[in-house]
Amino acid sequence: MKKFDIPDFFRSSIISEIKQRRKLDDPRKKDFAPTILDFGPVQFIIARHFGFCYGVENAIDIAYKAIDENPGKKIFLLSEMIHNPLVNDDLRKRGINFIMDNYGNPLLNWNEVDSNDVVIIPAFGTTIETENILREKGIDPVRYNTTCPFVERVWSRAEALGEQNFTVIIHGKAVHEETRATFSHTTEKTKAVVVRDLDEAAYLSKIILDEIHTDEFYKFFSLKYSAGFDVGIDLERLGVVNQTTMLASETLAISELLRETMIKKYGEENIKDHFADTRDTLCYATNDNQSATQALIKENADLALVIGGYNSSNTTHLYEILEKVMPVYFISGSEKIKSQKTISHFNIHNRSEDTTENYLPETFPVKIAVTSGASCPDSVVDDVLKKILSFYGNVKNVEDITGGLK
C-alpha cells in the first residue's frame, strides 16, 4: 500500500508502536481483538483499528505538499480538509483559507479567488457545480484533489447504476459534504434520493408498495431527491450506495429492506430487473473501525473514550456502538479531561458539550476502552492516554508496556 508523508506532530510514540506490532502480527487483519495496555492502576483496551485511514492520510499528504510547493501563493481549501479540529487549525495557521463551511455556506466571496491561486479539494470530494466554478476561474480541480479513493469508488458505482437505468438510493446525511458531492455526481447520470436511516428507508418502502400516497414522497424527502423525480417511474429500479462514514450495518439493513420491498412488488423471479447488489461500495476502513469497536464490547470495560472531531460522522457512529453497553465520553482531545474527577464531552443527541463529574470509577484497575475516528491523529490519542495516566501513582513505564506487546 502507498506510504504517505504525514507531519511528525500527528504521529505518536505509544499508538504508532501498537499499530506497527499488530500489523506485523496480523497483516491480513483477521484478528479484531483489542490490544490491552496494563499500566497497573489503569488498563487501556485499545481498539484493533482506529485513527487515520488511507483516505485521510492521502488528503493530509497532498495538502501539506500543496503548501510546500506553492510558497507565496494564496492557498484555499473548499471546506474542512477532514473533520478534525487539530488538522484544520494547523492548516489555517499555515495560511490556508477556507472557502465554505461544512454545509456549503460561503465563508468568503468567490471573487477573492483567481487563476493564480491554489485550491485544495477536501477528502470528502466536492460537487460538479463547484468543480465547474474552479474551471471557469482557470484553476485545475485535479492538481490538489484529495478526494478519498473510496468516495470516488462510490461515484463510479453510482455512475454504473445510472448507465443501467437504476435510481440510486444514497444512505447518508443530506447536509454532509460527502453526501452532497455524491448526490451531485450521481445526478449527472441518473435519479437519486438520500435516505438518512432505516426509518426513512422504511417510509420509502411504504411509498413503493403504495401503502403511502406518492404525493407524500415529495414532502417527506424535500430537498433530498433529484430534479424531475417521478415517483411512478423512478422507484421501479433501485441500487443503494452510501456516505462511506455511515454505519455499515445500517447500509446493509437498508439495502436488504429495499430488496425485500422490490421482491414483494415485482416477485423474486424479477428481482435482478428491479434491484442491484451494491454492497461493494462499503468503505473498508469504516467496516474495520466499526468491527473493532464491536470487539471492545466483549472486554467488560468500565467506560469508553471515543476521540475525534465533534462533526465527524464516522466517530459519532463509534460512539453509538458503545453507548448501548457502557458509559462513553466523546472528546476531541486531552484538554477535555479537566481532572481525575471532571470531563467535558460531546453529547451527540442534543449536540452540546456536557460536563460529567466522577467519570472515573474508584476501582482497581480502571478499565478504559479507547478508540478514535478516521480523521483523528494518533498523537491526540497518545495525549489522552498520558493525561489519564498522570492522575495515578505507581504507573508502569510506557517503554516497558509497549516493549512487552506480542
Q: How confident is the model over 112-144, as pLDDT tens digits?
A: 999 999 999 999 999 999 999 999 999 999 999
Q: What is the pTM of this model?
A: 0.91
pLDDT at 361 (0 to 100): 96
Fold designation for 54-136: Rossmann fold (3.40.50)
DSSP states along 255-321: HHHHHHHHHHHH-GGGGGGTEE--GGGS-HHHHHHHHHHHHHGGG--SEEEEES-TT-HHHHHHHHH
pLDDT at 122 (0 to 100): 95
pLDDT at 405 over 70: no
From residue 203, alpha-carbon distances to 73, 125, 179, 198, 293 in Å are 50, 29, 20, 9, 30
Fold designation for 8-53+285-403: Cobalt-precorrin-4 Transmethylase; domain 1 (3.40.1010)
pLDDT at 403 (0 to 100): 67
pLDDT at 208 (0 to 100): 98
Q: How confident is the model over 215-257, as pLDDT tens digits?
A: 999 999 999 999 999 999 999 999 999 999 998 889 999 999 9
214 Cα distance to chain centroid: 33
Average pLDDT over residues 140-161: 95
Confidence class of residue 404 from pLDDT cuts 50, 70 and 90? low
Confidence class of residue 2 from pLDDT cuts 50, 70 and 90? confident
129 is catalytic: no
pLDDT at 401 (0 to 100): 78
Q: Which amino acid is at 154?
A: V
- Cis status of the peptide bond prior to 41, with omega within 30 of 0: no
pLDDT at 281 over 90: no
154 Cα distance to chain centroid: 14
Q: Which of 41-55, 228-242, 266-280 is predicted with the least confidence, judged by mean pLDDT? A: 266-280
Distance CA 112, CA 94 (A): 18
172 Cα distance to chain centroid: 11
- DSSP E strand boundaries for 225-384: 238-242, 275-276, 303-307, 328-331, 342-347, 352-357, 366-372
Confidence class of residue 13 from pLDDT cuts 50, 70 and 90? confident
pLDDT at 398 (0 to 100): 81
pLDDT at 1 (0 to 100): 61
pLDDT at 17 over 90: no
pLDDT at 302 over 90: yes
pLDDT at 146 (0 to 100): 96
pLDDT at 280 (0 to 100): 62
pLDDT, averaged across the chain: 94
pLDDT at 406 over 60: no
Distance CA 217, CA 219 (A): 5
Grid-cell match 415485482, residue found: 266
| More reliable by pLDDT, 233 or 403 | 233
3-state helix, strand, coil in the chain (%, to 5): 45, 15, 40
| More reliable by pLDDT, 140 or 398 | 140
Q: How confident is the model over 354-385, as pLDDT tens digits?
A: 999 999 999 889 999 999 999 999 999 999 99
Q: Which amino acid is at 79?
A: S
Domain ranges of the chain: 8-53+285-403, 54-136, 150-282
Identical fold for domains 8-53+285-403 and 54-136, yes or no, is no
pLDDT at 3 over 90: no
Catalytic residue, from 159, 178, 200, 362: name it. 178
pLDDT at 350 (0 to 100): 95
Is residue 197 a contact partner of residue 172, using CB atoms and an 8 Å limit?
no
Percent of the chain with pLDDT over 90: 86
Q: Which amino acid is at 212?
A: I
Confidence class of residue 82 from pLDDT cuts 50, 70 and 90? confident
- CATH code 3.40.1010.20 for 150-282: yes
